[in-house]
Amino acid sequence: MQELLPQEQINAWKERLAGHHHPMELAVDVLRAIQDHHGWVPDTGVELAAELLGTTPLRVEELATFYDKIYRRPVGRWVIHVCDSICCWSRGAEEVVGVLREQLGIGFGETSADGRFTLLPTCCLGACGEAPAMMIGLTTYGHLTAERIGEILAAHRREVGP
């Protein structure tokens, strides 16, 4: 398993948090940093965040389980958040979900056999003028069609490699 956070980043967080008037203000940032490096936030990640923030694992867990972009279970290299809110729904989100399920061979909450993609539904992505839309990582893709979805997935497959 990949380390939770490189030691130099742990040191940098310690330094930054030590000088911070309200360390918990950075709780989401610390969780996001662990997730960015490790892929998801395991129990040991919650414990590390608590140690860095000077709080209890329970208080960190309260946050980690609240936000839908913090993953408390293993996910694929890329998490696909596909919007099922009203604007995307009105412009074919159900069909988009069908295409994704078919092309990836998985349902919601599952990870593709090659470990590349996890598929999750999400609320509005704020791309209502480009509906239907999805987000992979931190990038939003709008005006989705079956063809465009195929191209986007292929580009991600190329980036990750075999």
Partner 1 sequence: MSNYPQVLFKNRRPGETVFLDAYVAAGGYAGLKKALKTMTPGEVTATVKAAGLRGRGGAGFVTGLKWSFFPADHPGEKYLVCNGDEMEPGTYKDRQLLLADPHQLIEGMLIAAYALQVPVGYIFLRYAYEDCARVVEGALAEARRAGYLGPNILGSGFSCELRLHRSAGRYILGEETALLNGLEGRRPNPRSKPPFPAQKGLFGKPTTVNNVETLANVPHILVHGADWYQGLALTEKSAGTKLFGLSGHLNRTPCVELPLGVPLGEVITEHGGGVRQGRAFKACLPGGASTPFLTRAHWDLPMDFDALAAAHSRLGTACVTVFDEGTCMVAATLNLNRFFARESCGWCTPCRDGLAMVSWLLEKIETGRGVQDDIAMLQDQLRNISGRSFCALAEGAMGPVEALLRLFMDELEDHVKKGRCPFR
Residue 120's SS3 state is: strand
The binder of partner 1 chosen from 34, 52, 70, 149 (CB under 8 A): 70
Report how far residue 38's alpha carbon sits from residue 34's, in angstroms, rounded to the nearest whole number.
Answer: 6
Report how far residue 29's alpha carbon sits from residue 34's, in angstroms, rounded to the nearest whole number.
Answer: 9
Segment near partner 1 (CB under 8 A); pick from 6-14, 110-118, 134-142, 148-156: 134-142
Segment near partner 1 (CB under 8 A); pick from 7-15, 57-65, 97-105, 110-118: 57-65
Nearest to residue 104, comparing CAs of 89, 131, 82?
A: 82
The binder of partner 1 chosen from 46, 80, 87, 119 (CB under 8 A): 87
**82 makes contact with partner 1 (CB under 8 A):** no
**85 makes contact with partner 1 (CB under 8 A):** yes
Give bridge partners of residue 111 from the DSSP assignment.
118
Contact string (CB under 8 A) for partner 1, positions 23-52, x = contact? xxxxxxx-xx--------------------
End-to-end CA distance of the chain: 19
